Amino acid sequence: MYYYIYDEFTQEDKYEKELLKIENRLSDLGLLGNIARLALFKQADEFIREEVRRGVTTVVVVGNDKTIYKILDVVAEEKLLFGIIPLGPENFLAQSLGIPEGVAACDTLSARMIQTIDTGILNGKRFIAEVHIPETIVEITCADNYRVKPQKKGTVEVRNFSFWKDEQESLLLSNPCDGFLETVIKVDYSKKWWFKKKKTGITRLPLQTCTIRSPKPVIAFADGKEIQSARFDISVDPLSLRVIIGKERVF
């Protein structure tokens, strides 16, 4: 039984035609179900828990990465099957899972290719893909056993799987089903000199838990959502999310 959660922004006029096409296609495929619309004072958690009591087994989000971030915790806790129909801007997560935008996503939903993947937990809140901390100097304590410190400013990423698949990053593809999060630290260690080529060291640590500390609060992006703190506690929850995926996924 399907349950559709529409994000607030999908109720704008510019998405009306696309939504109509999506609903028609879902009807043709026999995938219609109840619909809930998120609003400023309406939390998705309440809707979903209520519907679980009525027998819902699949929750489908109609929206973007921010919509997914809002409902991820409750979907994983209730062990529901999770689907996405990407609409609007910033759909990197859906892209990484191989789900096309708009009406085409309905056919992916119908194909029902299911994968159980790990999720990460950052300061008590779940994320699917990665936590990204831009250029800064932080200290990473790994599994309470050892500390890793970049000697210069660098970017830190804690990945369940990678959003991107360009030439260099493809060499660092992470596996979202291995029970580990890959901590990737990129530091420019070249000496500053005119015309000298930049040299970047890429450190890679497979971890299950880590703590990232900074003397001052820094901004981290968890699946695109901005979080500011001086301390980030990150852990993996192995095989905690069942998700419908497409053929063009990055893992």
Nearer to other proteins, 123 or 190 (CB): 190
Asked if 239 is part of the footprint of other proteins (rule: CB under 8 A), the reply reads no
Q: Let me know if 110 is exposed, middle or buried by CB neighbors in 10 A (0-12, 13-18, 19+).
A: middle
Question: Do residues 69 and 225 touch, judged by C-beta distance below 8 A?
Answer: yes
Max CA pair span of the chain:
67
Asked if 168 is part of the footprint of other proteins (rule: CB under 8 A), the reply reads yes
- Binding region for other proteins (CB under 8 A) out of 23-31, 52-60, 62-70, 165-173: 165-173
What SS3 class is residue 38?
Answer: coil
Q: Rounded distance, CA 228 to CA 216, Å?
A: 10
Q: Which residues contact 128 (CB under 8 A, 6 or more apart)?
A: 68, 72, 93, 117, 119, 120, 160, 223, 241, 243
Q: How many residues bind other proteins (CB under 8 A)?
A: 28
Asked if 199 is part of the footprint of other proteins (rule: CB under 8 A), the reply reads yes
Q: Shortest Cβ distance from residue 247 to other proteins (Å)?
A: 20
* Binding residues for other proteins restricted to 97-156, rule: CB under 8 A: 145-152, 154
Nearer to other proteins, 131 or 140 (CB): 140
Nearer to other proteins, 1 or 202 (CB): 202
Asked if 198 is part of the footprint of other proteins (rule: CB under 8 A), the reply reads no
What SS3 class is residue 40?
Answer: coil
Nearer to other proteins, 88 or 154 (CB): 154
Nearer to other proteins, 33 or 201 (CB): 201
What SS3 class is residue 222?
Answer: strand
Q: Shortest Cβ distance from residue 102 to other proteins (Å)?
A: 33
Asked if 203 is part of the footprint of other proteins (rule: CB under 8 A), the reply reads yes
Q: Which residues contact 55 (CB under 8 A, 6 or more apart)?
A: 1
Nearer to other proteins, 47 or 161 (CB): 161
Nearer to other proteins, 48 or 187 (CB): 187
Question: Do residues 221 and 194 touch, judged by C-beta distance below 8 A?
Answer: no
Question: Tokens 């939504």 label which residue?
Answer: 19
What SS3 class is residue 46?
Answer: helix
Residue 46 corresponds to which tokens in the numbers above? Answer: 């309440």
Asked if 165 is part of the footprint of other proteins (rule: CB under 8 A), the reply reads no
Sign of CA dihedral 176, 182, 79, 224: negative
* Binding residues for other proteins restricted to 60-89, rule: CB under 8 A: none
- Binding region for other proteins (CB under 8 A) out of 30-38, 106-114, 124-132, 182-190: 182-190
Residue 58 corresponds to which tokens in the numbers above? Answer: 């699949």
Q: Shortest Cβ distance from residue 74 to other proteins (Å)?
A: 31
- Residue numbers of the site for other proteins (CB under 8 A)? 145-152, 154, 168, 171-173, 175, 178, 180, 185, 187-189, 199-206
